[in-house]
Structure formats: C-alpha cells, structure tokens
Amino acid sequence: MNSLRLSIIIPTLQEEDNLARLLKQIRRQKGIEVEILVADGGSRDGTEGVARAFGARWIVAVAGRGRQMNQAAKVAGGEELLFLHADSGLPAVANFLAIAVAALVEARVRLGSEAVAGHFPLRFATTRKRLGRQLRFHEWKSRLNRPFCANGDQGLLLSRAFFRQLGGFDESLPFLEDLRLGEKIRHSGHWVTLPGELVTSARRFEVEGYEVRTLLNLLVVVGATTGLQASLSELPEIYRPHSESPEIFRPHSESPGTCRSPVGGSRPREEGEPRTRIARCLKWLAATVGRLPPGERIRWWYRLGIMARSHGLWQVFLWLDLRVGRTRLGTRRPFLAFHDRLLAPLTRLGIFDAMAAILLYLAFLGSRSCQGRRLSERLSHGP
C-alpha cells in the first residue's frame, strides 16, 4: 500500500472551520502516501491559512466546484484521485484511506477493468433527532449504486487516468457536476461502494429545512434527467453556496425575527422565505416547460414519466423497508428486493411510463387549479 500515492482534492469557499477539522483527520491517516490539494473559489476567511498550516497545496481557481476540482486535478501527482467536500469527516480508523484504495484496486481486478470508481456510504452529522430520522433514508440510498444516488458528499475515488478519460467534471453549472460525472461513470465503467462510512454535514438541511432542500434536490434531478439542465442556469438560487443560504431554523438563544448567517452574525429573517423560494422554483419549471414547442412538451412529460418509474418507484419500496420492515442498514431489504425481481421487469413496458406521465400531468393541473382558487379567494376578500 505504501507504494500507492493518493491525491486528495478538496474544493473550498469560506470553509475555514470545516477544512481544519477534515485536514487534521487526513493527516492522522496511516499506511498510504497522501497529497492534499485545496482548490479554492475565492474564500475571504482564513481558509488559505488553514490549508497551508496542514501542508496542503493551495490552488486558486474560478468559483464553481467543477472548475475548482478540474484545476486541482490537472496538477495532482497521485495515481489515485479522491475528491472530498470540505464538510466531510473521516471515521476514527487510522488506515481508512488505505483500505478504500485497496478496495478500489481489488474491484478493478474482480471486474477486469480499470474503469472503476468508488464512493463511500454516508452518515449525516446532526444533533437534531427528527432531522436525523428523516436523513436515514438518504443514508440508505448512499449504500446503493443506482442512478443519481452517488453524489459529491459521498466522495469520489478513481484513478487519474480514468478521470482524464471521462473528461473531468462538467463546468457549465455551479452544481450538478457530481451527478453528471456519476452517470458518465455508470455508462462507461463501474461504480463500487467502498468500505466504511464517510461522515457529512447536514448543514444544508439544517439551514434550508429538510422539506425545502429535498424538494429543491428533486427539481435539480428533474432538470438533469429531462433535458432542462441548460435552463437551470436561470435559477441559481436552486443550489446556493452555503455562505448564501438562509437560516430557517432559529436557535433558542437568538432573538425572534432574526436568523443566524452561516458566515457569522445574524440578519433579519425574510418572512415566508422558504415557501417563496419553492414557489419561484416551481414557477420557473412550469414556465420553462411551457416555452417548449407542443411536441417537445409532450416528450418532456413522457421523459418525466420515465424518471418517475425508473428513479422514483424503487425509492418507495426502499422507504417501506426503512419504515415498515425496520431492517438495519446493510441487511436484507425485502420490499426493495420485491421491486427489483418482480415489479421492475414488468414496469419497463412503455405503457407504464405513459401512465406515470399522465398521472403527473393531472397532478400538475390539479395543483394549478388549487392555486387559482386560493388566489381568487384572496382577491374576493380584498387586502
């Protein structure tokens, strides 16, 4: 293992505290030679000082996670590349990284291919019990190698040669670079789940709210899978940087009417901010689809039906395993197994995609009708 050299690439923007914690954990690792590259997108805090204090290479790049990581990958010297987010955490296992690289090498031999990439299962770090229960479903999903399940929070480990073969991360948007590269890997190589768990911050869910963030994540995936990814640039707020995200949960120590800023201090709370943000995103989606030519609009709804059937249906059965089956992580999942063995082959028929599209369209019309009635009621009652 000592002969293998690993380059760890960490994109940052205002990550002074999280980066210090992660770099300290990396420097405690044994059994493998490690090079750390911090690719920064314009931090104004002490991120650079932290990176240099731990002996990391400081890479200045244009803001945007894809651009930052690509820039660092160009100068990385390791045979293997590991992309980590700054709010990730390594478990208290001294050879965690060495074990991961060994598992990747073993997978290449087993699969007979160099085109193999690995990701870690996730464990969310949060002190909020209700949020922790809600996020268990996402922890379960992170253990699976299914479309759009591998994201940047889980880390990405692959050879430098395979990364170059894939063409690196997409730089056209400030987000989605992980999902896009993940699907490239799925089509041209193999995904494997690495041993151990990667701890990740639940701050985006804590800051934006679980329901809000989950819905916005869904809109991102919808855009990515139905041909609207280019239009997502019209809605940058759908995935704001942490430093710009509104605080939705106010700690008890703060005075009413204020909220904590992720970069320190507090600011006035914007009334109805989460609901308004979701409404703007849904309005954008309806307007974007509405601008499509009639034929393309029908095809878009059909693609949405395919997504619901192929990417959404199995998640219902995984949720049943979690809620009803009460199966422990890593053990059998009977409801999901039922879907994969019996239901999935049946629903691959095109008629089910069309049925899903029709149901989604009817639900959309129903929601528009309800919104119209509520608006009429408000107008009739006056201000």
In the Cβ-directed half-sphere of 310, how many Cα atoms lie within 13 Å?
18
The answer to which of 64-68, 85-89, 108-112, 369-373 has the lowest mean pLDDT is: 369-373
Please indicate whether residue 5 or residue 13 has the higher confidence score (pLDDT): 13
- The candidate with the shortest Cα–Cα distance to 41, out of 92, 97, 85, is 85
For the record, the structure tokens of 380 come out as 């009739």
Reported as a single tens digit per residue, the pLDDT across 42-55 is 999 999 999 999 99
Integer Cα distance of 365 and 360 in angstroms: 9
Q: How many CB atoms lie within 10 A of CB 20?
A: 18
Q: Please write the tens of the pLDDT for every residue from 313-344.
A: 899 999 888 888 665 555 678 889 999 998 88
Q: Does residue 3 have a pLDDT over 80?
A: no
Region 182-192 average pLDDT: 92
Asked if residue 321 lies in contact with residue 327, where contact means CB atoms within 8 angstroms, the answer is yes
pLDDT value for 139 = 92
Q: Is the dihedral of CA 172, 221, 237, 11 positive or negative?
A: negative
Helix (H) and strand (E) counts in the chain = 15, 12
Residue whose pair of structure tokens reads 């890593």 in the numeric block: 330
Domains in the chain: ranges and CATH:
5-201 (3.90.550.10), 203-291 (no CATH), 293-383 (no CATH)
Task: Using the structure block, give the residue that is written with the tokens 């007979």.
Answer: 112
Residue 253 has pLDDT above 60, yes or no: no
For every residue of 202-223, DSSP letters joined together read: -HHHHHH-HHHHHHHHHHHHHH
Between CA 383 and CA 375 the distance in angstroms is 12
**Contact predicate 37/97, CB 8 Å:** no
Decide which of 82 and 148 is more confident: 82
